[in-house]
Amino acid sequence: MNLLVTSLVLITAPLLASSALAGPSFEDGIAALNVGDYPKAIQILRSLGERKDARAQSVLGAMYHAGLGVPVDYKEAQRWYLLAAEQGDPGAQFNLGIMYTKGQGVPQDFQEARSW
């Protein structure tokens, strides 16, 4: 019996440690955003976005696009949307198309808007 318990501990301990080291999740960032804790949401989502999490990049784009917890910054919104859109995130692709339609942070370009 002790061998079984020891084996389970040896197998699961690295898994638990790696998830603890991973830091806050995308869901943690969204939870912070939903309660209006924008500084925490930005911190979590930026960390994830810099590690190529397309969902976090898309939400960061939306936050800069709408000025949620940050000043409205179309160039920064476009940068995050593009990172996510290139990974296939449909929300980011749609929002990038909107930015090209309106000329927000990018030159107005209806053909480019359609392509996204």
pLDDT digits (tens, 9 = 90+) for 5-39: 333 344 444 444 444 567 899 999 999 999 999 99
SS3 content of the chain, % helix, strand, coil (to 5): 75, 0, 25
Residue 10 lies in a domain: no
Which residue range(s) make up the domain with 49? 23-115
Residue 45 lies in a domain: yes
Residue 109 lies in a domain: yes
Judged against a pLDDT cut of 60, whether residue 76 lies above it is answered with yes
Residue 95 lies in a domain: yes
pTM for the structure as a whole: 0.80
**CA pair distance 85, 24, nearest whole angstrom:** 23
CATH number for the domain spanning 90: value is 1.25.40.10
What's the pLDDT band for 109 if we cut at 50, 70, 90?
A: very high
